[in-house]
Amino acid sequence: MIGPDKRALWLRWVGANAIGELFGLGATLAVGGYLISQLEIQSKIGFVLVSFLIAVVSGTIEATVIGLAQWWAMHPWLPMLTRRAWWQATLVGAWLAYILGYLPSTIMNMGEQQASQAPAAEPPQWIILLLAGGLGLVAGAMLSFAQWLAMRKHLSRAGWWLPANMLAWLAGMPVIFWGIDAAQKGQPLLQAALMIGGALLLMGIVVGAIHGAFLVWMVAQDK
């Protein structure tokens, strides 16, 4: 049975991740999308490369919001882990994950532009969600590696943080892919925004619940 102290940590963590992803990733998508839509670059390959750079750099927004929210959630249990250290670790992980996430589509778009090909047909949704889960598995390792480096000074079982994030993002990444896909099927703007916001919130809850359970266990082992 989860004691009150453990329950408080888990609930704070899940809430911080849910709200952090809603506003952090939501702002990242909005800012990145707006900046890309304002580009006036004649070279198609140049447009693809600059769009890639904007998408990666805009991940700073999500990393900052979610990093600060996570630090707030766990600070009472890990007071020696500084806000700056956790934010920097989250930022490094986010940049690596964004590069991984956007690089395949960027390379494909560049190849299509060089060959003057029409965009390839989109695969079935189940394949997209399956690939999203695979992406989440790898991205989770990248997101958490720098965080693990910060954690290992304060938690004896910090090594579990990597598989915890891999499992969490394996489950969470398909949620956001599903939400964005559903929002692009002709709904009014407000309805589409609400659908994406709901997907972001749900994704934050799913991800936070999974690696939050690992965090509670890791902290409990050092008590």
- Residue-level pLDDT at 2: 44
**Tens digit of pLDDT per residue, the chain (223 long)?**
344 588 999 999 999 999 999 999 999 999 998 998 888 887 788 888 898 899 999 999 999 999 999 999 999 999 999 999 999 999 999 999 998 888 777 777 766 655 555 555 677 888 889 999 999 999 999 999 999 999 998 999 999 999 999 999 999 999 999 988 888 887 788 898 999 999 999 999 999 999 999 999 999 988 7
Residue 136 · residue 165 · CB < 8 Å: no
pLDDT for position 205: 97
Whole-number pLDDT of residue 3: 47
pLDDT at 9: 96
| Gyration radius of the chain over CA positions | 18
Q: Where are the domains of the chain?
A: 7-221
Residue 43 pLDDT = 79
Residue-level pLDDT at 114: 57
For residue 42, the model assigns a pLDDT of 77
Taking residue 2's Cβ as centre, other Cβ atoms within 10 Å add up to 13
Instruction: Tell which phi-psi region holds residue 43, choosing left (phi > 0), alpha (psi between -120 and 50) or beta.
Output: beta
User: Tokens 């140049």 map to which residue?
Assistant: 46
Q: How far apart, in whole angstroms, are the C-alpha atoms of residue 168 and residue 189?
A: 30
* Burial (Cβ within 10 Å: 0-12, 13-18, ≥19) of residue 88: middle
Angle at 128 between CA 124 and CA 134, to 5 degrees: 145
